Amino acid sequence: MSNIVDPLVARIGSRIRVERDRRRWTLSELAEESGVSRAMIHRIERGESNPTAVVLGKLSAAFRLSIATLLDPETETQADRVRRAEATPRWHDPETGYERRQLSGPGFPAEVAEVRLPAGARVPYPAAAFAFHRQLIWVIGGRLTFHEGDTVHELAAGDTVELGPPSACVFVNATERVCRYAVVLVRGEGS
């Protein structure tokens, strides 16, 4: 087993610890709020475990923050508004291969991310992950089956869907090709 720590995994762990400390929550309190085990949160905070998309969704819901907020560095300044492709934060879900690239910076009024969902991947998020944001999904390439509560949207390249009231959502790529889509999230109270 390697002792090399992935810098992004370490940054995610640090950010989760900062958010937990801001709220003065113990590991047990965050575990109760999120439904993620104390042991897993501890491993993530220490940079020993890369959280899955499902775990990040649960933690973001507990904090009432977007997933992008947990993935992007808090210290970035607005002095340089250009984000070079090679410096753009990218995160991979170790379970599904889902890749998320954060396109907008922390000071921008909307969060924009590009997602690559591998063939056959299925990524569920709890309703609470959508409770404090308005979101739009834009399929850039491939096909996406998007479950929004009991409603199923079959989306092809160029299609968009604006999310309604918070409900559990599942992103599914039932095809044999990668699906690329953008998530545009407006910070603030959701619908």
- The pLDDT value recorded for residue 162 is 95
Please list the pLDDT of the chain residue by residue as tens digits (191 residues): 445 557 778 888 988 999 999 999 999 999 999 999 999 999 999 988 888 888 988 898 898 887 877 776 555 555 567 778 887 778 889 899 999 998 887 777 888 999 999 999 999 988 877 777 789 999 999 999 999 999 999 999 999 999 988 898 999 999 999 999 999 988 664 43
Domains and CATH numbers, the chain: 7-71 (1.10.260.40), 87-187 (2.60.120.10)
- The pLDDT value recorded for residue 2 is 47
- The pLDDT value recorded for residue 71 is 76
DSSP the chain: ---PPPHHHHHHHHHHHHHHHHTT--HHHHHHHHS--HHHHHHHHTTS-PPPHHHHHHHHHHHT--HHHHHS-TT--SS-----GGGS-EEE-TTT--EEEE-S-TTSSEEEEEEEE-TT-EEEE-GGGGTTEEEEEEEEESEEEEEETTEEEEEETT-EEE--S---EEEE--SSS-EEEEEEEEES---
- The pLDDT value recorded for residue 78 is 52
